[in-house]
Structure 1
Amino acid sequence: MMDSSPHKLYHVHGFDSRQFLEDYFSGDSDMGFGDDVLKFPIENLREVFTVGHIHGEILIDLSLGSFIHHLYSACEFFKNIMVLKVSNRCIMELKRWVDERTGAFYWGHTSKHLQEKEENSDQFEDKEGKLRSAIQHIVKYDPEKENMTEPLVLPPADCVITTWLLDAISKDQDDYIRYLRKFSRLLKPGGRLIIFGVIDSTYFKVGKEKFHVFTYDEDFLRKAVVGEGFIIDVCKVRKRTALSNINDYKSIIFIVARKEK
């Protein structure tokens, strides 16, 4: 199917990674996405890792842009977090934070939110420092290649997280399933796949640039995940609360699934 969208494709055209963080993830009082894209991932991942017995040696993250807040809880349960990015610009933005360089994006508002959720705040150490230590590899990849990290061959992971990425790189249903299949190959049998996506969306903006989003509903995503050999353990849908015209999603969906084969 030919792509008829006039919008840019994230993995083809790239975007301003810092502008993306400022638009969607800053702690500014007028940033309207705090509940949807900051708190929702933090709180749900904290819950599934804490009570869902998800743990292991290796976690692979394939997510849109260079945000890190969704990985705070993961660093308590996985020794090695490998982050895959499609562009050098996103890699540079992430490494600036990991290496604590001058000008790195400030994530203190997100770690503070997690601290407030901890039952015993005394147990809350430097969550950002722990995450920095856990991110042991930042790797560039190409979703079109059979081995996406060629020439590197990654060890099979215990968990793969993909946050809003499949939505941005898939032009249609066939694309989505093709990329989902590639992501699932990174997992061990019995490993967990965690997906955050947006329902009934067509675009998102970064600065003045408008980017394509594949439009789907909950039923499509459930069938796609099950069709690739997974059992869905958790599925939550949150209605949009953000007031903004820089994207048009209707809901956010969160899925945790176990790989059977």
Structure 2
Amino acid sequence: MESKASVTDNYNLHFNPKAYLERYYSSVEGYVEEEEGVLPWTLEILHSIFSHEGVSGDRLIDIGTGPCIYSFVSSCTKFKEIVVGEYSEQNRNALKRWVDNEPGSFDWSSIIEHVCQLEGHSEFKERESLLRKTIKDIIPCDVRLANPLIGHASPQKFDCMSSAYCLEVACRSKPEYVKCLKNMAGLLKTGGLFVQLCEPLSFYRLGDWVFEGILLDEAFLKSALEEAGFTQIICRSRKRTSTAGENTYYDFTFVISAMKE
């Protein structure tokens, strides 16, 4: 019998970072059976966003990072420091092991090398080193709180905020989604850039557990951002082409950029 899990019922115990990383990020192609090209598409758009002139600053905050670093490979060249906010202790530990270059930590080299090739060079070892140096802190985070950074009151707001596949699994309703987005927006400076990867889904399966999510459409995603105080919203979407697979259900993947009013 399958068991279900969500952020509110011991996600820390049920989510397996090693199994997740091995399924979705063992190669640049991603998990072909379910994702069919989503990861390279995402990496190319992130490269495009962060190679744009004027996208830079001192501090970037990432919310709901999971055990992943792929979304920083482009942005780490434009910001002096990255702060990671992640709910799960197991995921935070997986990130720390990679930052500390511990034996047995997940190997991100193929994905880092791919991004460097998009930029027109092959200096992926240097990029790997820069990324480790730029990640300054890995701290607990809960988007349901008015200050999502648990016990860490930032002395100043961030120049940029990113988030990958977080709110659609952290929230159980549209009003909660908007509220959590407003909580996150409070961390960002006026005029700051928000980059969101979003894949609204009803569920995904990992091991013996089924993790619940929420299905949302593009119109709602844009209206939620507007209600949370964002403008200049650009929404890029990719329709799922695979009909096979029993480990998840979703229709679109989105990469959204917006500015805080």
TM-score normalized with structure 1 length: 0.90
- Inter-CA distance 118–143: structure 2 relative to 1 (3 Å threshold): closer
Match of 1:224 in 2: 224
Report if aligned partners of 1:35, 1:241 keep a CA contact under 8 Å in 2: no
Match of 2:212 in 1: 212
Match of 1:126 in 2: 126
Match of 1:53 in 2: 54
Match of 2:137 in 1: 137
Q: Matches of residues 183-198 of structure 1 in structure 2 within 5 Å?
A: 183-198=184-199
TM-score normalized with structure 2 length: 0.90
- Inter-CA distance 89–123: structure 2 relative to 1 (3 Å threshold): closer
SS of match in other structure, 1:51: coil
Instruction: Give the gaps of 5 or more residues in structure 1.
Output: 1-5
Q: Matches of residues 159-170 of structure 1 in structure 2 within 5 Å?
A: 159-170=160-171
Q: Shift in Å at residue 27 of structure 1? A: 1.8
SS of match in other structure, 1:126: helix
Q: CA RMSD in A?
A: 2.0
- Inter-CA distance 56–64: structure 2 relative to 1 (3 Å threshold): closer
Report if aligned partners of 1:20, 1:65 keep a CA contact under 8 Å in 2: no
Q: CA-to-partner distance for each residue in 1:144-169, whole Å, 9 max, x for gaps? A: 33222243212300111011000010
Q: Which amino acid aligns with 1:10?
A: V
Q: Matches of residues 239-254 of structure 1 in structure 2 within 5 Å?
A: 239-241=239-241, 244-254=245-255
Counterpart Cα distance in 2 of 1:226 and 1:45: 22
Match of 2:44 in 1: 43
Q: Which amino acid aligns with 1:71?
A: F
- Inter-CA distance 29–139: structure 2 relative to 1 (3 Å threshold): closer
Counterpart Cα distance in 1 of 2:232 and 2:144: 26
Worse-superposed segment, 179-188 or 20-29: 20-29
Counterpart Cα distance in 2 of 1:215 and 1:31: 21
Worse-superposed segment, 179-188 or 107-116: 107-116
Q: Matches of residues 18-97 of structure 1 in structure 2 within 5 Å?
A: 18-27=18-27, 31-32=31-32, 33=35, 35-36=37-38, 38-97=39-98
Q: Which amino acid aligns with 2:26?
A: S
Report if aligned partners of 1:25, 1:34 keep a CA contact under 8 Å in 2: no
- Inter-CA distance 233–142: structure 2 relative to 1 (3 Å threshold): closer
SS of match in other structure, 1:175: helix
Counterpart Cα distance in 2 of 1:7 and 1:172: 17
Q: Which amino acid aligns with 1:140?
A: P
Match of 2:100 in 1: 99
- Inter-CA distance 29–187: structure 2 relative to 1 (3 Å threshold): closer
Q: Shift in Å at residue 244 of structure 1? A: 3.1
Q: Shift in Å at residue 143 of structure 1? A: 2.9
Q: Shift in Å at residue 30 of structure 1? A: 8.5
Counterpart Cα distance in 2 of 1:105 and 1:10: 24
Match of 2:153 in 1: 153
Q: Shift in Å at residue 54 of structure 1? A: 1.4
Report if aligned partners of 1:193, 1:257 keep a CA contact under 8 Å in 2: yes
Match of 2:116 in 1: 115
Q: Which amino acid aligns with 1:35?
A: G
Report if aligned partners of 1:23, 1:31 keep a CA contact under 8 Å in 2: yes
Counterpart Cα distance in 2 of 1:28 and 1:79: 26
- Aligned residues, how many? 252
Instruction: Give the gaps of 5 or more residues in structure 2.
Output: none
Q: Which amino acid aligns with 1:89?
A: Q
Report if aligned partners of 1:17, 1:93 keep a CA contact under 8 Å in 2: yes
Q: Shift in Å at residue 247 of structure 1? A: 1.0
